[in-house]
Amino acid sequence: MHHRLAYAVAVSVLSATLATGSPAPASAVARFDPLSASDTVALLADCSQVTPNGRDYAELHDLDLCGVQDTPEDRPLPTEAVGGEECGSLTLTTTGRGAGLVAVEWRVASHTGPILGMELDLTVSGRAGDTVHHFATAVGSPLASDGVVVPAGVGNARVTLSGTVETFTTTCTVASASARTFVR
């Protein structure tokens, strides 16, 4: 008997809503971030950090970085381009995993030779508070990737990744990558 009454009430409420033809007010609509998001940012070269070996590598591989191809070997490279030239990219991907957890993955690609090491700071802000994780990794390849699952709490979470990537040619700064994700 209770099931029929509940069904009848649900049908009457639905019928009344459809009959009025008015949508729910904007204040009643919940706004959530997507369950998965990504951001790709540039790695920016620090031209003052190009080593002699890095300069030789750039010349050998015809990399147009920090004026290597246009500057005679007996002259120093121009350093006014600090942070202005791209030396690769970083892609940050976040996915709400349920139970208040967010999966965070990143992929780094170097255009200036093998990645020797990375120093990255990951910040996760959510209902569970703010957490910061530091990753220091030696790589030895032009591609690197890693990931971690972090408790963020149920609700919207913001994930930010920043730091430096040391390539065979120079030090590259990660332009801060950021993604917002809804965590169930």
- Model confidence over 32-48: pLDDT tens digits? 668 999 999 999 998 88
Range of the domain at 52: 36-183
Is the residue at 22 inside a domain? no
pLDDT at 84: 66
Is the residue at 15 inside a domain? no
Cα 105 from Cα 138, distance rounded (Å)? 17
Amino acid identity of 176? S
Is the residue at 159 inside a domain? yes
Is the residue at 102 inside a domain? yes
Is the residue at 1 inside a domain? no
Q: How close are the terminal C-alpha atoms of the chain, in Å? A: 35
165 pLDDT band (50/70/90 cuts)?
A: very high
**Is the pLDDT at 1 greater than 50, yes or no?**
no
Is the residue at 120 inside a domain? yes
**Is the pLDDT at 26 greater than 80, yes or no?**
no
For the entire predicted model, the pTM comes to: 0.78
- Provide the domain count of the chain: 1
CATH number at residue 124: 2.60.40
Is the residue at 176 inside a domain? yes
Residue 183: name the closest of 97, 123, 92 by CA.
Answer: 97
21: its two tokens: 């033809």
Is the residue at 127 inside a domain? yes
Amino acid identity of 105? E
Question: What is the C-alpha radius of gyration for the chain, rounded to an integer number of angstroms?
Answer: 25
